[in-house]
């Protein structure tokens, strides 16, 4: 039973006894229970929730400290879509500005210029990295951005409902694509690999079968290999299919861009731009496209305009594309973005700047190639595919890979990701030469 007495003395509830009496009188009820008089008694919850008793801040801290101590802290050599990059100390401090943190979607442009302004910067930065014309205001993560890219291609392709997906896509992304495709009635067809890269012959044969709305590839692919997509976009466009590229955002600081490869849609995860791994999220998905496709793009977009005082201003725009207007005609149900994480990568790109993103990428490249060489020198490892890679590579181990993996963990290392009987190692600018040498010592045992 709810009584007046219980609603007291809690730090998040400001109601005093006098307040309660005055407010209930205004609301025309005798007690708080009276506010629910319309609810049938048969469905009222009258019990006590089986939850812990209220905790002070110190007790909450204690609970989290105990949970935290049960996680083993490992030096990370794993990637597979999630990378352990460096986070400049400025970023968390700015993200904690509560005017950013505790604000809603910037529908009221007059008091949301802060958010709108940084989203415009974010869009500009993502188009710079991808070499594309247009970016939306961000998506949940890389895998859902890929799913949205797939649906966008089908929506743009009218009656074509087939999407070809390279076998070089990360299986985690593929699983999400499969989920969306099943319910959307999209036919996903896998383009097989040849020697660790997407087979162009197979792509062309599949395209020739017709009704293909889109073709999706990943760069670098799941083995870390930087593929040569020469001729892919042309082959797609000949068959009126859109070419979709999924890339690791930070790699685009140096790699040939989706724009240069002729992609129509570029998607991927922005986590590699300094966002902590945090057991899987929050991250941020990006989605960019050519100017021609802007009205097919899902999600929010911020544009420049003027206010009635003739000042430059930013505002959510092209909303006729969005779910709250289109309702059941919508081709995406996205109604938010991942705003705060978009701010994260915006501040990251501002601090690192034109040179810093390149330098971090070069360090990651150098570290990964050094590790690969050192592992090969032990005589126990070899690259599964002898192809150019960036900061992630796939090796076979001449021995018991499970035992090796456990040895790494016992020594405090996350020694890559076990996958297809091999190990996929990733190196970022955070890994020192000493850490790599220590890892190799264990690998050589």
Partner 1 sequence: MNNRLYGNLIFELSKEGRKGYSLPKNNFGAYEIPASMKRAEEAQLPECDELTVVRHYTNLSNNNFGVDTGFYPLGSCTMKYNPKINEEMAAQPQFQNLHPQQPADTTKGALALVTLLEKSLCELTGLAHFTFKPYAGAHGELTGLMTIDNYHRSRGDKARKKVIVPDSAHGTNPASAAVCGLEIIEVKSLANGQVDLADLERLVELEGSSISAMMMTNPNTLGLFETRIPEIAKLIHECGGLMYYDGANLNPMLGACRPGDMGFDVMHINLHKTFSTPHGGGGPGAGPVGVREGLQEFFPVVSPYFGNFGVMMRAYAYILSLGREHVKEVGPLAVLNANYIKESLKDVYELPIDTVCCHEFVFDGLKDKSTGVTTMDVAKRLLDYGYHAPTIYFPLLFHESLMIEPTENESKETLDGFIAVMRQIAEEAKTNPDEVKSAPHTTPIGRVDDVLAAKHPVVTYRQLKAEA
- DSSP per residue, 136-195: -S-BS-HHHHHHHHHHHHHHHTTT--EEEEETTS-HHHHHHHHHHHHHHTPEEEEEPEET
Minimum CB separation from partner 1 for residue 433, in Å?
A: 5
Q: From 19-27, 193-201, 205-213, 240-248, give the range in contact with partner 1 by CB under 8 A.
A: 19-27
Residues in region 83-112 near partner 1 by CB under 8 A:
84, 86, 88, 90, 92, 94, 96-106, 108-112
Q: Which two tokens stand for residue 377?
A: 């020198």
Report d(CA 222, CA 169) in Å as an integer: 6
Q: Which is nearer to partner 1, 124 or 211 (CB)?
A: 124
Other beta carbons less than 10 A from residue 124's beta carbon: 12
To partner 1, the closest distance from the beta carbon of 208 in angstroms equals 28
When asked if residue 332 is in the footprint of partner 1 (CB under 8 A), the reply is yes
Contacts of 353 (CB under 8 A, 6+ apart): none
**Any long-range contacts for 53-60 (C-beta under 8 Å, 24+ apart)?**
54/10
> Would you say 70 or 379 has its CB closer to partner 1?
70
The H or E element containing residue 200 is helix 200-208
Distance CA 78, CA 80 (A): 7
Q: Is 307 in the site for partner 1 (CB under 8 A)?
A: yes
Binding residue count for partner 1, defined by CB under 8 A: 199
User: Rounded CA gap, 257 and 245, in Å?
Assistant: 9
385 binds partner 1 (CB under 8 A): no
What is the footprint of partner 1 within residues 270-289 (CB under 8 A)?
A: 276-282
Among positions 223, 338, 387, 435, the unique one binding partner 1 when judged by CB under 8 A: 338
The SS3 of residue 75 is strand
Question: Does residue 124 touch partner 1 according to CB under 8 A?
Answer: yes
According to the binding rule CB under 8 A, does residue 379 interact with partner 1? no
Task: Write down the least CB distance from residue 399 to partner 1, Å.
Answer: 19
The terminus-to-terminus CA distance of the chain in angstroms comes to 67
Among 166, 221, 247, 339, binds partner 1 (CB under 8 A): 339
Among residues 411, 413, 380, 414, the alpha carbon closest in space to that of 395 is found at 380
Q: Which is nearer to partner 1, 102 or 421 (CB)?
A: 102
Under 8 Å CB-to-CB from 13, ≥6 apart: which residues? 7
358 contacts partner 1 (rule: CB under 8 A): yes
Decide if 320 contacts 330 (C-beta within 8 A).
Answer: no
Asked if 403 interacts with partner 1 (CB under 8 A), we say no
CA distance 200 to 220: 16
> Which range, of 158-166, 191-199, 209-217, 300-308, touches partner 1 by CB under 8 A?
300-308
Q: Does 441 bind partner 1 (CB under 8 A)?
A: no
By CB under 8 A, is residue 292 in contact with partner 1?
no
231-270 residues in contact with partner 1 (CB under 8 A) are: 252-257, 260
Choose one: 29-37, 187-195, 210-218, 235-243; the region binding partner 1 (CB under 8 A). Answer: 29-37
Nearer of residues 140 and 394 to partner 1, judged by Cβ? 140
354 binds partner 1 (CB under 8 A): yes
Does 435 help bind partner 1 (rule: CB under 8 A)? no
The DSSP secondary structure of 202-246, one letter per residue, reads HHHHHHHTS-EEEEEEEES-TTSB----TTHHHHHHHTTPEEEEE
The only residue of 202, 239, 331, 378 in contact with partner 1, by rule CB under 8 A: 331
Q: How far is the CB of 174 from partner 1 (least distance, A)?
A: 10
Among 196-204, 239-247, 367-375, 393-401, the segment contacting partner 1 (CB under 8 A): 367-375
Does the footprint of partner 1 cover residue 309 (CB under 8 A)? yes
CB of 207 to partner 1, least distance (A): 25
Residue in 303, 266, 262 with CA at minimum distance from that of residue 153? 266
Instruction: Let me know if 143 is exposed, middle or buried by CB neighbors in 10 A (0-12, 13-18, 19+).
Output: buried
Pairing status of strand 187-191 against strand 162-166: parallel
Q: Is 10 in the site for partner 1 (CB under 8 A)?
A: yes
- The answer to whether residue 5 forms part of the interface with partner 1 (CB under 8 A) is no
Which residues between 186 and 225 bind partner 1 (CB under 8 A)?
Answer: none
């Amino acid at each position: 039973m709810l009584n007046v007495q219980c609603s007291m003395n809690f730090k998040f509830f400001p109601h005093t006894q006098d307040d309660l009496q005055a407010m209930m009188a205004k609301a025309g009820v005798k007690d708080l229970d009276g506010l629910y008089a319309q609810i049938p008694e048969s469905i009222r919850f009258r019990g006590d929730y089986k939850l812990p008793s209220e905790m002070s801040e110190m007790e909450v801290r204690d609970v989290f400290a105990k949970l935290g101590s049960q996680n083993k802290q490992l030096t990370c050599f794993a990637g597979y879509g999630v990378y352990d990059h460096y986070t400049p100390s400025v970023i968390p401090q700015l993200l904690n500005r509560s005017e950013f943190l505790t604000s809603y979607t910037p529908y009221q442009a007059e008091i949301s210029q802060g958010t709108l302004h940084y989203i415009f910067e974010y869009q500009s930065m993502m188009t710079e990295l991808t070499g594309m014309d247009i970016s939306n205001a961000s998506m949940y993560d890389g895998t859902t951005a890929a799913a949205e890219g797939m649906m966008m291609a089908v929506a743009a392709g009218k009656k074509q409902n087939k999407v070809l997906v390279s076998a070089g896509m990360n299986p985690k992304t593929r699983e999400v694509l499969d989920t969306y495709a099943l319910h959307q009635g999209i036919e996903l067809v896998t383009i097989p690999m040849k020697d660790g890269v997407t087979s162009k012959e197979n792509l062309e044969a599949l395209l020739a079968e017709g009704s293909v709305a889109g073709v999706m590839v990943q760069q670098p692919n799941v083995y870390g290999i930087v593929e040569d997509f020469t001729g892919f976009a042309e082959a797609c466009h000949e068959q009126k299919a859109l070419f979709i590229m999924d890339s690791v955002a930070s790699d685009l600081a140096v790699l040939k861009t989706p724009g240069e490869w002729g992609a129509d849609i570029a998607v991927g995860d922005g986590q590699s731009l300094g966002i902590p791994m945090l057991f899987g999220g929050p991250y941020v998905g990006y989605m960019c496209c050519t100017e021609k496709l802007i009205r097919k793009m899902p999600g929010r977009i911020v544009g420049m305009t003027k206010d009635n005082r003739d000042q430059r201003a930013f505002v959510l725009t092209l909303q006729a594309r969005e779910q709250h207007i289109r309702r059941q005609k919508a081709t995406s149900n996205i109604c938010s973005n991942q705003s705060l994480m978009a701010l994260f990568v915006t501040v990251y790109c501002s601090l690192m700047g034109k040179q810093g993103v390149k330098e971090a990428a070069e360090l990651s490249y150098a570290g990964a190639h050094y590790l690969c060489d050192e592992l090969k020198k032990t005589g126990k490892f070899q690259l599964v595919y002898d192809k150019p890679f960036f900061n992630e590579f796939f090796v076979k181990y001449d021995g018991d890979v499970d035992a090796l993996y456990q040895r790494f963990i016992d020594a405090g290392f996350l020694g890559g990701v076990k996958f297809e009987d091999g190990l996929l190692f990733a190196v970022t600018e955070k890994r020192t030469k000493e850490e790599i040498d220590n890892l190799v010592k264990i690998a050589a045992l």
